Chain A
Amino acid sequence: MKRSFLISVALLSLASALLYWTVPGKRTDIPVIYWVTQDDENKRATVAAFQQWMADEHLPPVELRIDNTNQEPTKKLVQGLSGVGSDIMDLYGYEADLFPATGMIQDVTEDAKRLGFSPAATYPALAPDFIINGRQFGFPRNAGVSLNWINRGTFAKYHVPEPPMRWTMDEFEALGKKFVAAANPPGTRERIYFTNLVPREQLRRGLGLANYNETSTRCTLDDPRNVQILERVRRWTVEDHLIPSREEGEAMAADISGDGSMFSHFTSGRFAMIYVGQWALIILRPRGTFQLRAVEPAIDGFVNTDMGGGAVSVYARSKHLEESVRFLQFLTSPHFNNLIARIADGLPPVPKYAETEEFLRPAAHPNEWGTAAVFAEEARTTGITMSKSPFVLQSILYRVEKELTETMVSGRMTAAEAAKAMGDRLNAEIQLRIDHDPALRKLYDQRVAIQRQIDARRAAGKPVPAAWINDPFHLAYYRAHGWLEKEATP
């Protein structure tokens, strides 16, 4: 028995050693770096372009491998904080806020200056997505705004006029009702909707309201303007059926999971419009030739669109920091930008590549002509990144806002109650964070003092310095209304 036991231990040890020595990094002298992203045709083309760029730049060879098994945010976080994160990571949504805050993302400010991938290389409006407290933590691998994609064939089928490029919420409601009435005669089994969703944050911004105040020290979702938007959303969902409720959305998801369901219903005509970025073309192109247009979301007041991009960041404990940072430099190269322009994975991160004929009027896709120019123009003019606060994690904002909106739409609370609950819960969250974190408390106190000055100046009708404002929406809003001090206006 003892002999068997010892033999087992020896065999297992040997197997572990063999496994260790067969990992790619041990088998070769070439550094191997891992990139956490989707494993698809476009990403594999990116890897090939990277290798080509390294060769063209006469840089030492590096093997770039895609790691698509660790994309889940929690896995990335836990692995990163345990010291075993992948060298390069795609960061989406709240990750771009959370991960750098933990310290697991490499500060690449100096490398960016040295290698030419500083914020100046991309769209200025994108900077808040990868610049935190003046330090750079990544670089976008694409850019873009979300707009309403229009399936022109669906509108033509029901003899309903297409929406204009810029429209108000009342116009949206009127046209939506007309469309839904035409597309859903009595006895219709499968309901047809005007659009898949409306962007609540952009609707609120249109009325001059952001998630937070100018210094991001207070959640302002308890404002009456949010009540107004929530009531609209409830009416459009429950009474007018312009957009599906969560229940109806689940029903439509049928056997198709994720975003695929949305595109299937768009191409089959069950959604007249879908609200999504330009990357939609990656999915739409293989599904056929559809006559497409892109228009702004219907917004009252201050016209704005949701600007964002997939940022790529470097893990702070990467064993190949220099090679990983080189990948961020590669994102500014013609190799990469032309590839993005060709596959239509949003706008290329370097704006000048969005001006090429290949991007604006792809020869193989004349049905899309005109849409790329709209996306590029909106990114330059109306795009604003999401409002974030250092005192609240975005994941918590998403969860609270989504849960309470769903609760309100299902009739379990009024819009006013939902808005108040959003404000109360998120402001309680701010209080909790600053109570536990002395550094945050200090920052909070500083910003609250600035906020008082902003409020005083605004009450007196005086302009304020741009440097006082942290929220990207408020900055754009103040700028548009001429409320910034002259010297701070670009």
Chain B
Amino acid sequence: MSGLGQRGSPRRRLVSGIAFLLPNILGFAAFTLVPLVMSFGIAFTDWDTLRHNIFRHETLRFVGFENFSWLFHHPDFLHYLSNTFFLMLGLPFAIAGSLGAALLLTRVSHRPVARRGAFIFATLFLTGSGLLLRLGGMSQVGVWFIFGVLAAVSLVAGVLTGGSVYRTLFYLPNFTAGVATFVLWKKLYNPSGPINAALGPVLDGFASVVRSAPGLFSWGVPLACGVVATALTLWQLWRLRQHWDDATAGTVSVVTGLLMLAVPVGLQLHWFGLSAVTAVGGPLGVVLIGAVLILKRPRRWGPVCARDAGLSAEIALALGLVPLLTLLAVGVTWGSQLPALAAVGLPAPNWLGDYDWAKPAIMIMGLWAAIGSNNMILYLAGLSNIPPELYEAADMDGASPLQRFWHITWPQLAPVTFFIGVMGVIYGLQGGFEMARVMTKGGPAGSTTTLSYFIYIEGFETGRLGYASAAAWVLFALVFILSLLNFRFGNRSAND
């Protein structure tokens, strides 16, 4: 091998190497580097395709930060930025889904034969359930699509192949052409399509249950949501105190862990109609008090950890806890209205046509795509790297499966989770264009227009390249800041 690599003079080898690399370098320069540099320059000009093109040679004007300034004063930009962030709320669920898929696949591939009976039973059960639902009045399309095809094929195939079909099926969204997938989901989301055909009877049944005990639901839902939210909040406070005491969480981590609780509480106060000052100031005040109460506690093993120790774990946890607490806050605020809604029936959503449902619909689709994505592969790799002796020790100590997961798997996967989280945020910020273009055209009423789609509209439909470039660089700045966080904390976490 070494002989092959050393043939010819160094100069000749250099020329050969460059010759091989040149097509790629030229392609990169022509289609990435030069446009990148140009777009940075364009962001500070008034480049408008109407006036600056090969037909009209008007002089470009340097406008400084005018494009950026106008961007932040424009109601559309902030609206679309908030849409982008809203769609990213689905990220924790996607991460949880990927992890769940990876855990399931690990189990299936380890013990295919032992589970065969269970799979066959599950297949028969689901198929039978589908037939029963059909007899009970559910539409044929919904039943066959949901149970007949997916359950039977995937489960039986899984039994026969010992899990490799599952891996393929789970990875399917990642190698299916995006546009084809979006068209398919558009059909699925059709108001009279399979999803609503399956949901209709379920909602009808649920509505009749709610109607039978309206009083119970009017206070039961907010109460249940409130109890769960309070329990989660107290758990997080207890967790932070424990970590502080054990010197596994530094000052920054504790404050971060408290701040994540402030977000849903602030939203809750806002939805209750309190002023913005109270909604922001109140939770921050509580965070301050909580921080003082925790941080002044003496540590069990002395002050030995860095200020940002455990920060990656807090951020990873925040990705799941904040959306969950926010959803519970929604239940607390509007749960009491459920009986009134059920009184007139609970119609299946108009997924892509309704202002309130369009974003969740896209989030659900994103969740489907993300579960079987590269994230799952990363988790599979992460799981295979966990030393088996840790599980053996846990087994000897009599740990339950949940304890094994919580005290071994989850902490061991923290670097992977953090990496996936930050990468997900980056992709989330850049994403949404294809979905908006293919499925909703950014509507209804701009509810699914994301930053990337906005950049496209401004650049190619409105022709304001300067403005679109400024928006693109703002997006880059957001991505860059989050990438810095990744390098700063992700690497540390991985090396811990």
Q: Which residues of A contact B (CB under 8 A)?
A: 2, 5, 73-74, 77-78, 81-83, 98, 101-104, 246-251, 253-255, 316-317, 393, 395-396, 399, 402-404, 406-407, 410, 412, 425, 432, 436-437
Contacts and interface: CB of A to CB of B under 8 A. Distances in A.
B355 interface: yes
Contacts of A432: 70
Interface string B44-80: 0010111101111000010100000010000100000
B443 A406 contact: yes
Nearest to A6: B19
Interface residues of A, dominant DSSP: helix
A102 B56 contact: yes
Contact of B46 (A103, A104, A436): A436
B445 A5 contact: no
A321 to B, nearest CB: 14
Given A5-B20, A406-B444, A103 B55 contact: yes
A250 B50 CA distance: 34
The 3 closest A-B pairs by CB, nearest first: A103-B55, A250-B353, A251-B191
Contacts of B190: 251, 253-255
A74 B460 contact: yes
A396 B445 CA distance: 14
B456 to A, nearest CB: 8
Given A251-B190, A402-B443, 13 more contacts: A5-B19, A81-B54, A102-B50, A102-B55, A103-B55, A104-B55, A247-B350, A254-B192, A317-B54, A395-B462, A406-B443, A410-B445, A432-B70
Contact of A78 (B20, B55, B444, B460): B460
Contacts of A393: 462-463
Contact of B53 (A102, A249, A255): A102
A191 to B, nearest CB: 12
Nearest to A99: B50
A248 B192 CA distance: 11
A98 B460 contact: no
Contact of A101 (B50, B63, B444, B461): B50
B352 interface: yes
B352 A250 contact: yes
Contacts of B53: 81, 102-104
18 contacts: A5-B19, A74-B461, A77-B49, A77-B463, A102-B50, A102-B463, A247-B353, A247-B444, A254-B190, A254-B192, A393-B462, A396-B462, A403-B443, A404-B445, A406-B445, A412-B355, A432-B70, A437-B51
Interface in B336-357: 350, 352-355
Contacts of B75: 425
Contacts of B55: 81, 102-104, 316
B446 interface: yes
A250 B350 contact: yes
Contacts of B460: 74, 77-78
Contacts of A412: 355, 445
A246 B351 CA distance: 12
Contact of A249 (B56, B353, B446, B463): B353
Interface in B435-472: 443-446, 457, 460-463
A432 B464 CA distance: 11
B75 to A, nearest CB: 7
B28 to A, nearest CB: 18
B453 to A, nearest CB: 12
A98 B463 contact: yes
A433 to B, nearest CB: 8
A403 B355 CA distance: 11
B111 interface: no
Given A2-B16, A396-B462, A407-B445, A250 B191 contact: yes
B188 to A, nearest CB: 12
A412 B444 CA distance: 12
Given A104-B55, A437-B51, A246 B462 contact: no
Contacts of B350: 247-248, 250-251
A336 to B, nearest CB: 29
Contacts of B19: 2, 5
Nearest to A400: B76
B110 interface: no
A410 B356 CA distance: 10
Contact of B446 (A5, A101, A103, A403): A403
A101 to B, nearest CB: 5
B187 interface: yes
A110 B191 CA distance: 54
A187 to B, nearest CB: 13
A246 to B, nearest CB: 5
A395 B461 contact: yes
A46 to B, nearest CB: 28
A403 B55 CA distance: 33
Contacts of B353: 246-251
A420 B462 CA distance: 22
Contacts of A316: 55
A2 B15 CA distance: 11
A222 to B, nearest CB: 15
A317 B55 CA distance: 9
Nearest to A413: B445
Contacts of A254: 190, 192
Nearest to B73: A428
Interface in B170-195: 187, 190-192
Contacts of B192: 251, 254
A251 B444 CA distance: 13
Contacts of A403: 443, 445-446
Contacts of A83: 54
A98 B51 CA distance: 11
A104 to B, nearest CB: 6
Contacts of B61: 436
